[in-house]
C-alpha cells in the first residue's frame, strides 16, 4: 500500500468507527492510531493533547458500544487530569436515569443541559460520554454518533 494512503486510512480510522463502519482497516484500533499520530511528529502529535484525544475516543467508543482493546489503565497512565468543568452530578444522574428508562424527551432535554452552551466540542469527557450513552439507549444512535464526530473534530482527532 502507498505510504500516503496508509497514513490517510489511519487518520480517518476514528471517524470510520464513529460513523459505524468497522471495516476500514483490518488492524485498526486506538493503540495503532495513537502510534501513527505520535509518528507524524506534528505539534499535537504526542503529549497532553494526544492523551486527551485517546481518552475522548475511548470514552466515545465505550458510550456507543464500540469495542477497542486499549485498556483504560494504559490511557490513564499517559493522561493528564481533565481541566474542563464537570456538570452538576445530579444532572448527570438524571440524564443517566432518563436514558436507562427510555424517556426520549427527558434524555434530550438533560443532554442539552449537560452539554451547555459549549456543546460537545468543549464539554467534559465524562459529560459527553454520559450524553452519548443516554442518547444511544433511547434509540438516538445516529444523533449520538453525529455528536461524537463533532466532538472528535473539535478536539483535533
Indicate the domain borders of the chain.
3-77, 89-154
Query: pLDDT of 83-118, one tens digit each?
Result: 888 999 999 999 999 999 999 999 999 999 999 998
Predicted pLDDT of residue 91: 97
- The fraction of the chain above a pLDDT of 70, given in percent, is 89
Nearest to 36 by CA among 69, 6, 2: 6
118: helix, coil or strand? coil
Over 60: is that where the pLDDT of 81 sits? yes
d(CA 16, CA 75): 21
Burial 78-90 (b: 16+ CB within 10 A, else e): ebeeeeeeebeee
Largest CA distance in the chain: 51
Report field, pTM of the whole predicted structure over 0.85: yes
Please enumerate in sequence order all residues whose Cβ is within 8 A of that of 39, keeping only pairs 6 or more positions apart, or say none: 45
- The fraction of the chain above a pLDDT of 90, given in percent, is 56
Predicted pLDDT of residue 42: 46
Amino acid at each position: 500500500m502507498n505510504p500516503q494512503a496508509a497514513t490517510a486510512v489511519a487518520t480517518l480510522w476514528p471517524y470510520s468507527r464513529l460513523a459505524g463502519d468497522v471495516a476500514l482497516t483490518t488492524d485498526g484500533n486506538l493503540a495503532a492510531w495513537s502510534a501513527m499520530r505520535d509518528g507524524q511528529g506534528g505539534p499535537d502529535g504526542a503529549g497532553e493533547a494526544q492523551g486527551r484525544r485517546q481518552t475522548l475516543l475511548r470514552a466515545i467508543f465505550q458510550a456507543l458500544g464500540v469495542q477497542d482493546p486499549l485498556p483504560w489503565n494504559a490511557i490513564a497512565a499517559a493522561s493528564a487530569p481533565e481541566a474542563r468543568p464537570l456538570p452538576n452530578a445530579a444532572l448527570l444522574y438524571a440524564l443517566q436515569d432518563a436514558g436507562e428508562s427510555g424517556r426520549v424527551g427527558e434524555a434530550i432535554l438533560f443532554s442539552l443541559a449537560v452539554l451547555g452552551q459549549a456543546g460537545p466540542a468543549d464539554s467534559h469527557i465524562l459529560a459527553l460520554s454520559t450524553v452519548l450513552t443516554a442518547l444511544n439507549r433511547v434509540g438516538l444512535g445516529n444523533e449520538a454518533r453525529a455528536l461524537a464526530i463533532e466532538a472528535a473534530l473539535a478536539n483535533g482527532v
